[in-house]
Amino acid sequence: MIPERIGIKIWDLRAEARDELYMLIDKHYKKMPRNSDGSIKSSDPSYNDNDNDIDSFRHSYVSAVYVIEFSYETAELLGRLNEFDPRRNEIRSRNMDLWNNSVGRGYGKRFKRGEDLFFALLKALKEGKLIITPNDPRRYKGPKSIKRLPKSFVIKVKENKTGANIEFFDVRNKRMMTKEQFIEAIRSGRYPGYAVKKHHSGEFPYSTRDRFSFNNLG
């Protein structure tokens, strides 16, 4: 049976969470720019939503949603993957993003997405727990952004109730897979560096030993 959210891609969920957040910001915090039809703009060159309070809201909220939808571990790795391209922002901005991602993950373990999560993060913003400028002297102490990816890179994004991995994401090809789909792809030779092992409860994909510490398949 295909898991319920297998059809929702990682980056589609990010956009979904961002749009959800912008509606809440517009309703409860500050007015957001709108399109001619009255809908809130998710992207607008004339409106700066980077390296400010909206940016900190976005990173923390999306990271929390990743925890809610997937897991804390997956949210942490996805946050670092989002900072993969060193040309996208400079080191202080990446520090700000990683810090806010970390704050958001903490709230993702305590709240459901929506207004409860929003108001918790709004309180965190007002209490100074989020970083809203790259010039903030605080430094993120956790794992930094990923500078290089292996040729084939698949991460676990969802577990079942017993802790077994059941959904996977091909980072380079941006493809979601069930456990069965991933095992079939491994056996067909499409994912070098991964193998299948048997357990009394079934078969499971795993990553063979390599030098990439962020590989989360064991």
Instruction: Dump pLDDT digits (tens) for 158-183.
Output: 777 777 888 888 887 878 888 899 99
Q: Which residues, in sequence order, are CB contacts of 56 under 8 Å at separation 6+?
A: 96, 100, 125, 130, 131, 132
pLDDT above 70 coverage of the chain, percent: 82
Taking a C-beta distance cutoff of 8 angstroms, is the pair 41, 34 a contact? Answer: yes
Taking a C-beta distance cutoff of 8 angstroms, is the pair 23, 61 a contact? Answer: no
Question: Hey, what long-range contacts does 46-54 have (CB within 8 A, 24 or more apart)?
Answer: 50/89, 50/93, 51/93, 51/96, 51/133, 51/134, 52/132, 52/133, 53/125, 53/130, 53/132, 54/25
Indicate yes or no: pTM above 0.75.
Answer: yes
CA dihedral 10, 53, 25, 67 (to 10 degrees): 30
Cα separation, 98 vs 56, in Å, equals 10
Instruction: Dump pLDDT digits (tens) for 57-80.
Output: 999 999 999 999 888 888 888 888
Instruction: Dump pLDDT digits (tens) for 85-95.
Output: 554 558 888 89
Residue 102 has a CB neighbour count (10 Å cut-off) of 19
Cα separation, 83 vs 145, in Å, equals 6
What is residue 135's predicted lDDT score, i.e. its pLDDT?
A: 94
What is residue 56's predicted lDDT score, i.e. its pLDDT?
A: 95
Mean pLDDT of 90-105: 92
Instruction: Find tokens 């698949």 and name the residue.
Output: 154
| Residue 62 in tokens | 């999306």
Task: Return the domain boundaries, the chain.
Answer: 10-126, 154-207
Instruction: Dump pLDDT digits (tens) for 8-47.
Output: 567 788 889 999 999 999 999 999 888 888 888 776 544 5
pLDDT value at 134 more than 50: yes
Instruction: Dump pLDDT digits (tens) for 178-203.
Output: 889 999 999 999 888 888 988 777 88
Mean pLDDT of 117-126: 97
pLDDT value at 140 more than 80: yes
